[in-house]
Structures are given as C-alpha cells and as structure tokens.
Amino acid sequence: MSVRLVRAEIFHYRYRLAQPIPSTMGPFSCRPAILLRLEDADGAHGWGEIWCNFPPDGDLHRARLAANVLPAALAGLDATAGNGPFAQIAARLHRIALQAGEIGPVAQIAAGVDIAIHDLAARRDGRPLACYLAHHRSGTRLAVPAYASGLSPDRFEGQIARMRAMGYAHFKQRIGFGRDDSLPEAEAAAAGLGRSERIMLDANQAWDLASAVARVERIERLNPLFLEEPLPADVPMADWQVLAAATEIPLAAGENLRRPEEFAAAIDGGALRVLQPDACKWGGLSACLAVARAGLKKGIAYFPHYLGGGVGLMASAHLLAAAGGDGMLEVDSSENPLLEHFSAAGLGLRNGLFPLPDAPGLGYAPDVAGASDLLHAHHDIAIRDYTTLQ
C-alpha cells in the first residue's frame, strides 16, 4: 500500500537541569527532545524522534533544520515502511548534507522520519510495532529485558537505589573522566551491587589504544557485563582487535557508527561482542533492524543504544523485541523528566521486563500537551512547528 504524507509536526522540548550531569564530552545543562508526528492523506499518523543530545544547544539547530528540510525530504515520498524510508530520505538530502557539512544532523532527521513512518504503517496495519517489524517471527514478546544507564561518578548511589526500586538489576556507569578515570567510583558501585546484579561500564571514546590496554586489567576485576566505547569510533578495526585480545571483557560499540559499511566492518572484525546502533541517531528502524540481525547471525549481542525522550525509547524497545536475541534495552537513569513523561508507562519494569503496549504501532499517544505544561511551569522551551507537504 502506497502512503502519501501530507503533514509533519515538530515538537521541540528542553528541560533545564538545576545541576548539570557530567560526561566525558562536557556537562549536560539541559535535557532536550525533538519529536516528529507525520500524517498521511487518510489522516493516519505516526511518531518518531530526532536525536539531539550533543553538542550543547544542538537541539536548537536540529529543530530548525528539520523544519526547513522536511518539505524537500518528504514531498511526494512513497512512505510505505517496507521499502526502507531511511535510505530514501538520506539520499534525498545527501547533497545538502555534504554541502553544509551536516552529515550527522541530516541522518538524525532521516532516522526520526523512518521511525514515524514505521509507526504510521504499523498503526494502519493494526499490529504492535514489534510484530510489524518482526514479519515472519512468530510469538514476538511485547516485553524486553532492560538495564539502567547513565550512572554518574558523583551520584551513582542515588541512581542505583532509584532504578533498583523500579526493578533493575543491571547498571551502566560512566568512566573515562575525572580523577583516575572515575575508576574508584566504578569500583565502589560494583562493590555495592547484590549477588544477582551486574555492572557495565561506558568510557565514551575516552582512551587511545595504549590507555585502554593499561586500564582493562583493573576493570576486569569488576567483572562487567561489557565495556562500551573504550576507543574512539573512528580508530582502525585493528586497534579494537588488539584491545579485544588483551582482555576477557566483552567490548561494545555502535552508537557512533553511521554507515552500513562501518557496521559491516564492526560485525566482521571479530572484536565486538555487543553491538549498539542508535535508531534515533542513524538508520531509524529499517537500517538498525538490518544491522541487529546481521550481528545476531554472527553471535554478537544486540543492545540498542538510546538517550533522549521517551518516543525513541519505546521505538527502541519495539525494535529489540522484533530483533530477538539476549540483548537489553538501555534506560537512562539520570535526571530527565521528558524521558519518563514520553514513555508509554514510565520507566519501571514489570516482572523484570520493560513492557510494551499491545495496541497498534508504538501503542500509545505521546502526551505533548502535558509536556508543554511541565516545561512552561519550569520556564523552559516547548515549541511546535507545522509543515504542510506538497
């Protein structure tokens, strides 16, 4: 069935933090979210999300860029989800992305559109998004394992306690910055976990190869489930292979890869045991599902990366359910009212799993009016743009 899009709405939010959140790339001073609602000629609609976390205030640019490029990207598009909308939209915007040096932001806009088109198609089809994506996979479960991420060295105790109370038993802490690369705080966090709980560590590309090799022996003592991005995403695969040979810790990466050939090299390179594409940052649901399935065929676990507002979280959960495997959904534990507000049912687990609605598409309607009220009360930004497509 061919679907003709006639309307796009952009919902831009940012929540200012009273206390910035530290990271290796600088502090988060606010938590932004850019949601996208697409509507077709029959009045059916779908929701997506555009990644916008970095650099600081990068959401302001992405929201305006999306409003300007969406008419050209979507006008006359055959929006049938099965034919790979991300690739189509990225191709349409390729020249402007090159001319303006906007490869990343344009890919993020295309990814948000891809998610929205899949949501729209699944709603029209009358199936939950996970079941729509799974196609031939029978018995797709509408619940996925999840872990709490975003633990900061300066506040991990409270974050672990909060997420543990919501049912989480796996926790990912940031390292690679601060005194002694924040490893003493990671050791303290690991020491405080229960017998059935497990830590993961995220270095956010902080080290070169020599530094990473020097640190993994100390990190191994914590028995982490994986070590994420100990090296920059653009170093040669040979560096990852050297590091993998130097440690028993499973290495994880993928959120900062952005081309099919980069993912193919990562999958075939043999160094990674956890693959983490971010559907809001690159590829949307169509390209990331292909990456996940390719990795699973090679025995690489699929753990979707996610950091943003709740629509992308729900899309990532549906994607994980469709892909299958033993991976876990990433749920940010740092302060972000927009994440919890825009999730279908908060962030808590049920019987140890993150639940998905069984209604068509994403299975719920994001409460945009409630988010605007929340942010206006906090004196922050809530902007809505309308684009009519020809």
CATH number at residue 216: 3.20.20.120
**Is there a single domain that holds both residue 236 and residue 118?**
no
Largest pairwise CA distance in the chain: 59
Angstrom distance (rounded) from CA 134 to CA 55 = 34
Statement: residue 83 has pLDDT above 80:
no
Helix (H) or strand (E) holding 36: strand 28-40
pLDDT for the residue numbered 382: 73
**Is there a single domain that holds both residue 339 and residue 191?**
yes
Angstrom distance (rounded) from CA 331 to CA 386 = 30
Statement: residue 150 has pLDDT above 80:
yes
Position of tokens 């999300």?
A: 49
pLDDT for the residue numbered 386: 65
224 located within any domain: yes
Angstrom distance (rounded) from CA 121 to CA 367 = 21
**Is there a single domain that holds both residue 164 and residue 83?**
no
Q: Where in the sequence is the domain holding 106, given as residue range(s)? A: 5-126+367-388
**Is there a single domain that holds both residue 222 and residue 292?**
yes
**Is there a single domain that holds both residue 157 and residue 105?**
no
Q: Measuring CA to CA, how many Å separate 30 from each of 93, 162, 335? A: 29, 21, 9
227 located within any domain: yes
Single out the residue of 309, 290, 304, 258 nearest to residue 36, CA to CA.
309
pTM greater than the 0.85 cutoff = yes
362 located within any domain: no
**Is there a single domain that holds both residue 229 and residue 375?**
no
Angstrom distance (rounded) from CA 28 to CA 190 = 24
How do residues 20-53 score in pLDDT, each as one tens digit?
Answer: 998 888 888 999 999 999 999 999 999 999 999 9
Angstrom distance (rounded) from CA 21 to CA 35 = 22
372 located within any domain: yes
Instruction: Give mean pLDDT, residues 108-125.
Output: 96
Q: Measuring CA to CA, how many Å separate 366 from each of 123, 253, 267, 349? A: 14, 30, 35, 19
**Is there a single domain that holds both residue 219 and residue 344?**
yes
Helix (H) or strand (E) holding 50: strand 45-50
What pLDDT band is residue 77 in, cutting at 50, 70 and 90? confident
347 located within any domain: yes
Domain with 67 in it: what CATH number? 3.30.390.10
Say whether 301 sits in a helix, a strand or coil.
Answer: strand
Statement: residue 390 has pLDDT above 60:
no
**Is there a single domain that holds both residue 294 and residue 314?**
yes
DSSP state of 353: B
361 located within any domain: no
Number of domains in the chain: 2
Question: Distance between alpha carbon 376 and the CA centroid of its chain, in Å?
Answer: 26
**Is there a single domain that holds both residue 148 and residue 283?**
yes
381 located within any domain: yes
Instruction: Give mean pLDDT, residues 339-365.
Output: 96
What pLDDT band is residue 1 in, cutting at 50, 70 and 90? low
Angstrom distance (rounded) from CA 333 to CA 348 = 11
What pLDDT band is residue 114 in, cutting at 50, 70 and 90? very high
When computed from its CA atoms, the radius of gyration of the chain, rounded to whole angstroms, is 20
Angstrom distance (rounded) from CA 368 to CA 151 = 28
* CB distance 152 to 22 below 8 Å: yes
**Is there a single domain that holds both residue 175 and residue 119?**
no
**Is there a single domain that holds both residue 192 and residue 108?**
no
64 located within any domain: yes
Helix (H) or strand (E) holding 155: none
Higher per-residue pLDDT: 262 or 4: 262
Angstrom distance (rounded) from CA 221 to CA 191 = 11
Question: Distance between alpha carbon 308 and the CA centroid of its chain, in Å?
Answer: 7
End-to-end CA distance of the chain: 20
Q: Parallel, antiparallel, or unpaired: how do β-strands 146-151 and 170-174 relate? A: parallel
**Is there a single domain that holds both residue 160 and residue 46?**
no
∠312-289-241 over CA atoms, to 5°? Answer: 105
